[in-house]
Amino acid sequence: MAKLNDYSNIWAEIISGIANKPASNTVWSVIQRLVFGAAVYFIWQERNARLFSGVERSEDCLFMIIVESVRMRLMGLKMKVTSDVINASVIWKFPIDKNLKYKRMLEELFADDNDKTDVDDEDN
């Protein structure tokens, strides 16, 4: 969900990879940092609950809490509508301004049509 496929499943390697990766403001970079921060926070919270309160949540429950936390943060961000943001909104199920979404889709459609027209003109 966060496009972290390049990372291994070893915790130390994940931390090293995210820490050494330069931060950018692309939607996927933001999502990766949010997921990492939420995972650390809620795993630590779960650890404390298990140690001091004897209360446990399942892995699926913890996963859903992390996903919902990241989704809520994403909904609070102001983002330019790009194809990556549209893809992220589908994967993470957060709404984006429909008018901006349709405007972006139309711009891409017309850009594709112009590219085809340019190619057709060159053929003649």
Model confidence pLDDT, tens digit, residues 9-53? 888 888 888 888 888 889 999 999 999 999 999 999 999 999 999
* Cβ neighbour number for residue 48 with a 10 Å cutoff: 11
Q: What is the pTM of this model?
A: 0.76
Distance (Å, rounded) from C-alpha 124 to C-alpha 122?
5
Distance (Å, rounded) from C-alpha 88 to C-alpha 65?
18
pLDDT digits (tens, 9 = 90+) for 42-82: 999 999 999 999 999 999 999 999 999 999 999 999 888 88
Helix (H) or strand (E) segment spanning residue 33: helix 27-52
The answer to whether 79 and 85 are in contact (CB under 8 A) is yes
